[in-house]
Structure formats: structure tokens, C-alpha cells
Structure 1
Amino acid sequence: MLQTLSHDNMQGRATFTAGIEKAADFIEEEFHAAGLVPLNGNSSSQAPSYRQTFYVHRLTPSQTEVKLGKKTIAPEHLFVNTAHEAFSWKHKNKVNIISIPEGENFRAAFAKANAGEQDAIVLVHPSHAEAFANYRGYFARGGVKKEVGTGASKVYVLTDQAAPKKYEVKFANKVEKLPLSNVVGMIEGKRKNEFVVFSGHYDHIGFHHSIDGDSIANGADDDASGTTAMMMLARYYKEQPQPERTLIFAAFTAEEIGGHGSRYFSEQLNPDQIMAMFNIEMVGKPSKFGPNSAYLTGYEKSDLGKMMQKRLEGTTYSIHPDPYPEQNLFYRSDNATLARLGVPAHTISSVQIDQDKTYHTVKDEFELLDMPHFTSMIRAIALAAQGVVSGEDTPMRVDKALVK
């Protein structure tokens, strides 16, 4: 499974490509072979569809023109963050003018400016040129939005002008409405309306900077490993007697471009009926804690981690608190959407993220993964989750006020 999902013919599983469609087809076949039913419960078809399809809008900049005073700004000194198809501003519109001066923390200042609820032109001092170029590389490609025409627009300009008296902005996006699909199956439990979710994201970043003639970012660890673990757990639980709680197995799309798949999934269920979420991400390499070990992001936000560790007592397996809090991993994967709704939703991982040199590169390949470790991770999750699956363990809810 892991080899198939990370093969070159999947072309890195980027969203909106033939490669990710091929991956979705493969996951559907595996769910069908395992005997899962679609989330809607319709299992009468010879070839049931496990696709959970929804639509988003891809916005690609087609026009960006900015004039400050009498000076026309060069394209490489501009980028825009907006969910609007087009807009045109002149100084009479009284758009906010925000400055990021020399010596300020650019990342923090950018985050603050971006969070503003009013349209704004953000003037960035040339001393931040390197950081500006990095951000521009991301935003100039456009983005994916659920809705078009909502929220404030921000225009970022690299300039030494501190307070231009006049400005003129013309911007337009090319807008495409495109489908995305999660792949979701389930095993109905005796308690039909108490759900336990096992998940992983099956998208990756597609093609990337070429190394030695290789430009396919295969995403073996990120996150073919988590998706494969989820599918193996589906097989395992299907071979067991009917579980007490209903088990949902979800392969999420579009994690790499904003978590759109998990967001849509969360809207299809009542979060109060989801007892726990075991999101699995990058479990193909040993953790810093040694053999047969993994860590849980947001460990302190519920008691799920302690329940898992208690179930592992007397075995060689162990679950630890996230050792990389500075990396903000709890909010960087698909668990965060459900956690914000109060679900004890956490990500299980083992990657040494502060040292991993293959993350988001063309070197994240099957051959570099540790298969004995990966196998032990799947076994550990099956053992650790048993109390929640059987209904004997019910973790505390996440305090929504403490989840940003």
C-alpha cells in the first residue's frame, strides 16, 4: 500500500491532478476489499463510492498593478492575499495603510496585518526583502478558497515609501470552481452514533525542486505512511467482532493547501458524537524516544494520550507528549479542525521534524522509510485505541477556548 501511494506514477499526489485521482481510486479499492461501507451507509452497490466530494475555488492572480504616488511598483515587489475575484482602489477609498518598518519582526507583523478585518495596503521596508520574497513565492501562485468574495484584501508592497499620499491598485484573479474528494469508509458499531475517527491525508505537493533529475515529491512519509496505517487499521478492525462504537476511516484531501478536506468532513457530522480522532501523520521513521515509540500532538489538551499510554502498559510500545512544541504541529495537521469543535482530536507521529531533511522534498521516498518501525506504529495504535473503540474509555473533550 505504502509503495503504491508513493510510487512515481502517483506524481506526488498534488491536489487537482491526475495523480491524486489515481490515489483516491486506489484507497477506494482498498476500502471495498476490506469490506467497509461508505459513510452514508449505502453498501448496496456492486462498487460503492467512498468519495466525499465537495467544491472549492482556485484563485490565480491575472492582474496586479500598484502605483504609490507617481511610482509604479515592479511586479516582483508585490503580492496580494484576497478571496475576491477583483478590486480597484484609489486613495479616495480610504484603505488602511499599514507599515512594517525596519527592525520589526516580519513574521509577527505579517500575521497581525493579515488578520486585520479591513482592506489594507501593507508597506514593507526593503530590509525585509528576503522574507518578503519568500512570502511572495507562496502568495503569487494564488490559493484555494471555500468561498469567493468574502473577507478583507491585503496588498503587500516592498517599498521605502513610508506614507504615500496617493495610491492606485488594480487586481484581478482567475477563478475556477473545482472538485475535491475525501475518501471515507466506516464499520458500523453497536452504538451507531458514537464515532471514532482514524485518518490520514493522502495529498502531497506534487512536483518540486529537481534533485539529480528527480522532480517528483513522492510523499512517502508525508503522508502515504499515515494513510496506509489508517487503511491497515480498517482491515484489522473489520476482521474483529463488531466494535462497540462506529469506526470511521478517512483519507483527507487538500491538507497541504489549507486543510480543506478535514474542514468539509467536520461539517458532515455532529462533533459531539465524535468520541476521539486518531489522525496519523508521518510514522515511517523512528522517533527521538527510541524503538516502538511515537508522540501525540496537543497531548495536554485532553487525556486521550494518557488513556493510550495506559493501554500500552506491559508492551514494548509507548506514546509521548509532542517534543516539538515550537513547531506548532498540533495546528499543522487535520486534527486541528475537529479539535476546535471540542473533539479530543490529536495527531500521532514519529518523525523527528526538527532534523528531517526529506520533508517536502523529492527525497521523501519509500526506500528511506523504516518498515519494521512503521509496522510497530500500526500495532501500537491498534492497541492504544482499543479502549476507545470498545467504549470502555471516553476521553475528555478539548476546551474550545484553549484552541486557537
Structure 2
Amino acid sequence: MKKFLLSLIITIFCIICSLSFENYYFIRPLNSNEVKNTVKYLSSDDFNGRLTGTLENYETINFIKNYFKDQNLIPYKNNYLQSFNVIYPRAVTGTPYLLVKDKNGFIVKQYKYAIDYKEDMVNFRYNNVSFKKGDNILWRGNNFQVQQGNNYFLFYNPQDDNVNFRSSFISNSPHCMYIMIKKHTAQEINNYINKGYEISCFIPFEDEFTSTYNVLGYIKGKNQNLPPLILSAHFDHVGSDLAGTVYNGALDNASGTSFLLGLVKYINSIGKPERNIIIAAFNAEEFGCLGSKNFVKQYKNDLKGSKVINFDMIGSDKNVPISIMSGKFDTKNSSFVKEIAGLCNENKANFKYTFENCSDHEYFRAYGIDAVTLSDADMSRIHTPKDKSQYINTKSIDRCFNIVSKEIDSFAFGRNPYILYYKQLFIVSIIGLLLSTILYIKCTKNTNN
């Protein structure tokens, strides 16, 4: 009887060992070094800041689409590309200037671009303005607004007197043009105006209408009737300035995009999920989350009951807590937020909550779809020329993977223990197999004696 039980135990351990070894051999956890290499590629100067509407943004679209094809993702709704329309800031011919003229039109002062002043990206409905004493100019400290008819032009002194920050582009913003000026520039302009001089400013950008694309693919699940899991990230950034300075956007958001692409390899190595997994690379997030907005509006009826995990800034080197971001009306007790927080606690990951409509989870939440953004909310280099791949930390990438992989395994693969705990099962089965085999041999010897 004892030998029979030991034989049964050995058989069970053999089965567990075989199944767990198969997963141990085939499952490929996300490679954070490979992710960092992709970040380095997408945030290189060759992509010129990936501004929506530019050639380099279209090159990014093509890169992601080809990656989806290589990884055998199925085109979502029979097309990898979802088209939508945007207004974007197009660079035009000309040299920027901010200068002072006397009453005869002679230039008495010309300020230096990117040193004394620089455009902010917010809007360019008009790209030039001239004004003098007697015009409608409203001063507040070192900031002033020029009104000409129904058009408003804002000149403002940025935080820390630093003109390198670049805002997102918002086509419906209230001002026609936004100019950052140094403190000394503002004070000099005020003095020149009071003395009767005219100020002229020209920035060679203009608003233009164009079509652009999200990149969408999916991994087919066993049950097409189940709501899908959606994994997403935005790939656009804020381009470059007129001096050729590139805003590379490594953390924001080449990192989230690269993390998303790395997850595709991991999921493919597991096998077929229980439900569809949609992989969505969104465009025009920097224009007000327009890519995700169009995706949700078009496909909202297919997304009911879905769960969305968005990745925006993954890989900070500042040892910041990972942020669980959700809609402004959510709380830490919202079901999906609570679920992700539980996974953070399970992995002993330092985290915080952020409830703002500030990334691509916004429009999912507006339609009642469970959605969170995971983010290393490190703002120290965001939207500046310093946001480069050299500051990406693979430990932060691994931290995010350890959290999100559990949710993928749970929601998309039905909490299969051979996926969730394949390493532990393999080790335990090996040890159990060795011990039970040793006991079986001893039992056989005792029986023979």
C-alpha cells in the first residue's frame, strides 16, 4: 500500500513537473533591457520628438504596425490603423523673431530665440502679432496678454525663468499664440512700450488639419463573447523647436510604448488567452488624448465590461512610487483601482493614487469602462530636452511588469496556476519528485529484505 501511494505521488509530481517545465521553458518574461533598447530607438533624434502630424510620427506608426505584424497580432476590425482627424502645429518657412521697432520702423532691439524667448506649443491660430502703447495690453507681473479684436496672445514668464518646457498642443485653447519670455525680457518690453516703441513677434508655425492613426491589433482568445483586456500606451510626443532642439520623450512616452511592445512577446509566449487581448498604441495623447477618445467613441459597444491598463511613463530613475491613475471621479475604493492596488501590495511595490483625467484612461472612464494608467509620475524632465533614454531605469520597468503580469494572467488567462506560479511549481515538483523517489527506493529495499 505504501509503495502504491508513493508511486501515485511520484506520478503526480511528474505531471506537475512536466506541465510547469513546459511553461518554464516557453514563457518569456518581459526583457527590461530589450524594452530600454526600444526606448532608446524611439526617442532618438531620428524620430524628431514624434509630434503628431509630422513625417517622424508616421514613421513611428509604421514601426509599431510592422512590430504587430512580426508578432502575429491580428489587425483590429481588419485594419492595424484607425484613422482620425487632428489639427496640428506645422512648421512653415521663416525665421522666428521678437523685436523692438522705433516710430520709423527701424529695429532697435532683437531678442535671441531660445535664450530670451521661445514659443510654447499650445496653439498657433495666428503666428504673428505687433503691439504698442495704447493697444489692449493686460499686464500681470512679468506676464501680459495682448488682445486684438477677438484674438488673444499670451506672453508669460515660465517657472524658474526656464524657456525649455514645452506644453501639449490644444487646438481649441483660448489664446491664438503662446510665447515664453524671460523675466528680463518682459521687463524690457514693458519699458520699451512705455517709451512708445512697437513690439513685433513672429513664430513660423501654423495650425493645419490632417489625418493620423492609432495602431491596433489583438491576440485572439478562446471565448469571443468575453469582454477583452485592453493594454495601451501613447507613442506621440511634442516634437522639436525652431532651433532644432529635439524633445525626445524617452520617459514620456517611448517608455510606455516600448513596455507595451515587450508585453506582446510575453503574452505570445504563454499561449492562447481565455479572452481577446487588444493591444492599442494611441496617437495624439499630447493633443488632449484624441487617439484614445476616437478609439473609445468608435468601438465603445465592443468594449463593455473590458478592463484597460494604460502605460504612460514607465522606467523612472528617481525611485518614485508607481502611480495608479484613474478618472477624477474615482477613489481608492473603485473596484479596478482597488484590484491593482492589491497587486502592488502583493509585490511589495511602493505606490500612490492619482485621480485625474490626464492620460489615455480618461475617455474609457467617461464611458464607464474600467481603466487605470500605471505611471512613474516623475515630472523632473518631462516635456524638456532632458527626457532621454539614458535616464530610463530597468528596475522600474521590472516593477511594473511584476504588477501587470499578474493582472494579465488573472483576467485574460483565468488565474491558471501553471501560468501564475510556474516557477514555484517547477521547483516544488522537482524537490517533491526527488524526495518521493528516494522514499520509494527505500521502501522497495525494505520490502525485498
Give the TM-score category using the shorter length. Answer: 0.5 to 0.7
Residues in 2 aligned to 1:175 and 1:155: alpha-carbon distance in whole angstroms: 11
Q: Secondary structure at the match of 1:268?
A: helix
Where structure 1 has 5 or more consecutive residues not aligned to the other structure, the ranges are: 43-48, 63-78, 86-97, 111-118, 160-172, 393-404
Find out whether 1:279 has 2:310 as its counterpart. yes
Contact 1:312 1:384 in 2 (8 A): no
Where structure 2 has 5 or more consecutive residues not aligned to the other structure, the ranges are: 1-37, 93-119, 127-135, 179-189, 191-204, 416-449
Q: Secondary structure at the match of 2:405?
A: helix
Q: For 2:353, which of 310, 318, 321 is the aligned residue?
A: 321
Q: Deviations over 1:114-135 (max 9, x none)?
A: xxxxx967799xxx9648x99x
- How far the C-alpha of 1:221 sits from its partner, in A, is 0.7
Contact 1:283 1:350 in 2 (8 A): yes
Q: How does 1:238-317 map to 2 (within 5 A)?
A: 238-270=268-300, 273-286=304-317, 294-298=322-326, 300=331, 302-311=334-343, 314-317=346-349
Find out whether 1:360 has 2:383 as its counterpart. yes
Find out whether 1:187 has 2:219 as its counterpart. yes
Q: For 1:12, which of 49, 52, 56 is the aligned residue?
A: 49
Residues in 2 aligned to 1:279 and 1:300: alpha-carbon distance in whole angstroms: 18
Contact 1:185 1:250 in 2 (8 A): yes
Q: How does 1:107-118 map to 2 (within 5 A)?
A: none
Structure number, greater radius of gyration: 2
Residues in 1 aligned to 2:403 and 2:61: alpha-carbon distance in whole angstroms: 26
Residue in 2 that maps onto 1:206: 239
Change (3 A) 1:243 1:312: farther
Q: Deviations over 1:102-122 (max 9, x none)?
A: 69xx99xx9xxxxxxxx9677
Residues in 1 aligned to 2:46 and 2:73: alpha-carbon distance in whole angstroms: 26
Residues in 1 aligned to 2:170 and 2:73: alpha-carbon distance in whole angstroms: 31
Change (3 A) 1:216 1:270: same
Q: How does 1:3-402 map to 2 (within 5 A)?
A: 3-40=40-77, 42=78, 50-58=80-88, 130=157, 176-189=208-221, 190-192=223-225, 194-208=227-241, 215-270=245-300, 273-286=304-317, 294-298=322-326, 300=331, 302-311=334-343, 314-317=346-349, 319-322=351-354, 330-353=356-379, 356=380, 358-390=381-413
- How far the C-alpha of 1:59 sits from its partner, in A, is 7.3
- How far the C-alpha of 1:287 sits from its partner, in A, is 6.2
- How far the C-alpha of 1:199 sits from its partner, in A, is 0.9
Change (3 A) 1:35 1:121: closer
Q: Secondary structure at the match of 2:288?
A: coil
Q: Deviations over 1:67-125 (max 9, x none)?
A: xxxxxxxxxxxx9x99999xxxxxxxxxxxx998969xx99xx9xxxxxxxx967799x
| Structure-2-length-normalised TM-score | 0.57
* Paired residue type of 2:382: Y
The percentage of counterpart residues that share the same residue type is 24
Change (3 A) 1:16 1:384: same
Change (3 A) 1:123 1:100: farther
In angstroms, what is the RMSD of aligned CA positions?
4.7
- How far the C-alpha of 1:143 sits from its partner, in A, is 6.1
Query: More helix by proportion, 1 or 2?
Result: 2
Contact 1:284 1:351 in 2 (8 A): no
Change (3 A) 1:138 1:151: closer
Residues in 2 aligned to 1:306 and 1:346: alpha-carbon distance in whole angstroms: 11
Residues in 2 aligned to 1:362 and 1:195: alpha-carbon distance in whole angstroms: 37
* Paired residue type of 1:373: S
Contact 1:218 1:365 in 2 (8 A): yes
Change (3 A) 1:144 1:285: closer
* Paired residue type of 2:364: L
Residues in 1 aligned to 2:156 and 2:271: alpha-carbon distance in whole angstroms: 60
| Structure-1-length-normalised TM-score | 0.63
Change (3 A) 1:99 1:244: farther
- How far the C-alpha of 1:180 sits from its partner, in A, is 0.7
Residues in 2 aligned to 1:279 and 1:191: alpha-carbon distance in whole angstroms: 22
Change (3 A) 1:155 1:192: same
Change (3 A) 1:121 1:307: same
Q: Secondary structure at the match of 1:13?
A: coil
Change (3 A) 1:351 1:129: closer
Change (3 A) 1:180 1:59: same
- How far the C-alpha of 1:370 sits from its partner, in A, is 0.9
Contact 2:166 2:238 in 1 (8 A): no
Change (3 A) 1:269 1:318: farther
Residues in 1 aligned to 2:174 and 2:394: alpha-carbon distance in whole angstroms: 47
Number of aligned residue pairs: give it.
Answer: 319
Q: Which has the higher contact order (CA 8 A, sep 6+)?
A: 2
* Paired residue type of 2:268: K
Contact 1:202 1:224 in 2 (8 A): yes
Residue in 1 that maps onto 2:443: none
Residues in 2 aligned to 1:58 and 1:370: alpha-carbon distance in whole angstroms: 32
Change (3 A) 1:317 1:59: closer
Change (3 A) 1:178 1:317: same
